[in-house]
Amino acid sequence: MKKHTIVVCDHIHEAGLDMLRNDESINFIMAADEDKVKLLEIIEQADVTITRSSTDVDANFIAHAKNMKAIVRAGVGVDNVDIDRCSKEGIIVMNVPTANTIAAVELTMTHMLSCMRMFPYSHDHLKNQRVWKREKWYGRELYGKKLGVIGFGNIGSRVAIRSKAFEMEIIAYDPYINPSKVTDLDMTYTKNFEDILACDIITIHTPKNKETVNMIGEAEIAKMKDGVVLINCARGGLYNEEALYNGLKSKKVSFAGIDVFVSEPATNNPLLDLDNIVVSPHLGANTFESQYNIGTQAAQQAIDAAKNIAFAHAMNLPIDESKIPAFVKPFLEMGQKLGFLASQINKAQLVSIKVSGKGDIAEYVESLSTFVAVGAMSEASGDTINYVNAEFIATEKGIKIETKIQKESSVYKNLITVKLTTTEGTTTLSATIFDDNVQRIVEIDGFDIEVALKGNMILFKNNDIPGVIGSIGMTLAKNNVNIADFSLARNDKSQALAVILVDNDVKASVLVELSKLDACLGVNYAHL
C-alpha cells in the first residue's frame, strides 16, 4: 500500500501528531524544528502539509511543493499563505476556523472584566509594587450596562450570551444575519450603527475586510458616550489605532481591552504607553483546549485530504478541468465577481441568490451557483466561506440558492444572470465573456449597459433630465476623483443609470454629496 506523506511544518498539539503517527497509511514527517532550507527539501516529498503562522507559504515554498495537493493552516488566519499562487498550482488551502471559538470568547470576557475593574493594574500595584491602596481601585460593574456587539457570528453571539448572564443589556449589529438570531435570545437587534455607538461597552467580532478595516475611527469615537469601554479580540485594525490612542489619551474612551494589533509583534506600539488599556499578545487561541482542538482538527483534515476523502474548509477548491470544458472556468470566476458586486450594491441581509444561464454555460449553472454564492456571502462571512461550505452556510443563514436554465439568447452566445434578493430589495446583474476572455456586465436592474467588471465603480440612478452628467462630473472633479470610464443607460420609465469607473477609492462623504444632486434616485459604490 502506497503511503501518503504529511509534513508538519510548525508545532501543533501532541494529540494531532499522534493521529498522524498512528495512521498506517500516512508517512508522517515532523519538520517543525528544521531550518528553512532543510524544510524546503522535505516539502518536495509532501502530499499534504500542516502549517501555522511561523511558516510562510510563499512563492519559494510553493515552488518546492512539487507533489503537494493540499495545505492545512492550523488556525483561522491564512495571511501567511499565498492562496492565489496555490490555486494556480492546484494546491487546495484549508483552515481550521472554529477550533478556537470558546478561547476567543472567554478572552473577550477577560478583557471586558479587566477593563471595568482595572484588575491588571491593581494586581501590579500589590504584587510588584507592594502597595495596599484599596481606595485607588474603584471600578465599574457589568450589571445593567449596555453592551454593543458588532458581528453576531460564532464568537460575537457567545460573548453576548455570557454577557447577558451578567445582566447586561445587549444590542447587536450585524447586517448579514436574520434578526431573529438576536431577538430569540431576548436581545436587541439594530440596523442603525448609531445605536452601537451609544453603548457603555463595545466589542467587535467581524472578519477583516475592506468594509471593516478602520470601522471605528475618529468620527465614530466622537459620537460615543464619554467613558466608553472598547474591546477588540478579533482582528487588528478594526479600530483605527491612531483614533483609539487619541480617544484613550483624552479619556473619551475610559479603557480599552486589546488582543490584536495592526502590526505584530506590537512591542513598540504607542498604545502600550497609555495607563488605561489592557493588552495581550494575540492570545485568542492560546488555551490548552483550543490548541488540542486545532491540532486534532488540522491532523484529521490533512489525513482526509491526503486520502482524497474530503477537503473541509477549503479556501480555493480547484476545478477539475478534465470534467469541465475550458470555456466554463472564466464564467465561474465571473460569477463569483458578480455575486460580490451585487452584495456591495445591495448591502442588507441576504434572502435569496438566483443564478440563471443562457447558451452552453446553462448546463453548468449548478456549479456556477456555488461560485456566485461564495462571492455574494464573502463580505459577511470573510475567510470562513469557501466552495465546500457555501451551501451549508447559506442554509444556516436562511439564504435560498436557486438555479434556472433560460432559453438561449439571440444576442449573446453565453449569458449568466445573478439576482440577489435582500430584505431591502433586489439587484439583478447579467454578464457575458467576449473574445479574448473580456468580461463585461451587459445589464443592471433592467438597464442595458456595457461595463467592465473591474475597479472602483459608482452606480448613479436618476430621473432622466438635462444637466445630470455635468453635475456628476463637477462633483467628482471638486473632490479630486478622476473618471476612467462613464457608461450611461436609459429605460422606458424616464430614468437613467450611470456606471462610473474611477481611478481612486471614493470617500463616503463624496457619495453623500452625489446623493444630494437634483434628480438623484440612488447612489451605490463597489470595488472589484
Catalytic residues: 235, 264, 282
Whats the size of the chain, residue-wise? Answer: 528
- What does the H/E/C string look like for 58-82? CHHHHHHCCCCCEEEECCCCCCCEC
Which residue in 515, 454, 461 sits closest to 485, CA to CA? 454
Which residue in 303, 253, 304, 309 sits closest to 278, CA to CA? 253
- Measured CA to CA in angstroms, residue 524 lies from 210, 440, 514 at distances of 15, 19, 10
Q: Which amino acid is present at 291?
A: Q
3-class SS of residue 350: strand
- Measured CA to CA in angstroms, residue 417 lies from 99, 338, 345, 461 at distances of 37, 9, 15, 20
3-class SS of residue 499: strand
Query: How far is Cα 457 from Cα 483, in angstroms, rounded to an integer?
Result: 10
- Residue for grid cell 457570528: 153
Q: How many CB atoms lie within 10 A of CB 105?
A: 22
| Angle at 341 (CA atoms; ends 339, 342), nearest 5 degrees | 65
DSSP line for 440-483: EEEEETTEEEEEES-SEEEEEEEE--TTHHHHHHHHHHHTT--E
List the alpha helices (DSSP H) in 188-257. 193-197, 218-223, 241-250
Query: How far is Cα 500 from Cα 459, in angstroms, rounded to an integer?
Result: 6
What CA dihedral angle connects 9, 14, 20 and 22, to 10 degrees? Answer: 150
Using an 8 Å Cβ cutoff, are 293 and 99 in contact? yes
